[in-house]
Amino acid sequence: MRSFRFLTIGLALLALTPNAHAAPTKPTPVPAAPAAQPHLQVPPPEAQLIMIRSSLVALSQANQTGNYTVLNALGSDNFRINNSPARLADLFASFRANAIDLAPVTYVNPVLAQAPAITDGRLRLVGSFPTQPMQVNFDLQYEPAGTGWKLFGIAVNLSKVTQTAQR
């Protein structure tokens, strides 16, 4: 498994993501919560995996190239209005400066820290990728768009994995 080449990283926060500064809880698999609104439903786990992975891969590629145009274009109308490519580049400057490699999110499965929920018409997915020695934590929000969901908010940070006692 690939390891990260850094020890600390700050939080990158975009577009109206409440509680993004809260410390992530220990991730455990959880079932999907029922939809908060009758016309909106929490996507199945397979779709959630695609949404999480594609959002973080888009961020990874933007960080590698310094070009945040595609990440911006993948977002909802509200995301694009509030986060120009230049603003995204500023917000994720520490990722580039520290050569953060998010590539492990392509082959490690995320673990949700809380049940997916729809609140105020937005889907929220919170969890982490259990990579070593640093885990990638995420707090993602999506807005409905057509027949699917588009990125509304993204918070990503890294935390050092604590070793648990061997039994």
For residue 165, being part of any structural domain is answered with no
Residue 49 in tokens: 């995996």
Q: Is residue 2 part of a domain?
A: no
Could you report the per-residue pLDDT of 21-77, keeping only the tens digit for each?
A: 333 333 434 444 444 445 899 999 999 999 999 999 999 999 999 999 999 999 999
Which phi-psi region, left, alpha or beta, contains residue 118 (left: φ > 0; alpha: ψ -120 to 50)? beta
Tally of domains within the chain: 1
Distance between CA 57 and CA 87 in Å, rounded?
Answer: 19
Q: 142: which strand partners?
A: 123, 151
Average pLDDT, the chain: 81
- Do the beta carbons of residue 58 and residue 140 sit within 8 Å? no
- Phi and psi at 82, nearest 5°, equal -85, -10
133 within some domain: yes
Residue 33 belongs to a domain: no
Q: Whole-model pTM?
A: 0.75
The CATH number of the domain holding residue 130 is 3.10.450.630
Are 64 and 56 in contact by the 8 Å Cβ rule? The answer is no
Residue 129 included in any domain: yes
Q: Which residues, in sequence order, are CB contacts of 84 under 8 Å at separation 6+?
A: 72
The residue written with tokens 């995204």 in the block is: 88
pLDDT in tens, 9-35: 333 333 333 333 333 333 434 444 444
Average pLDDT over residues 79-90: 97
Q: Is residue 110 part of a domain?
A: yes
Residue 117 within any structural domain of the chain: yes
Is 90 within a domain? yes
Q: Is the dihedral of CA 158, 61, 118, 78 positive or negative?
A: positive
Q: Which domain holds residue 110?
A: 12-17+39-160
Tell whether the model's pLDDT for residue 102 goes beyond 60: yes
Give the integer Cα–Cα distance in Å for 75 and 80.
6
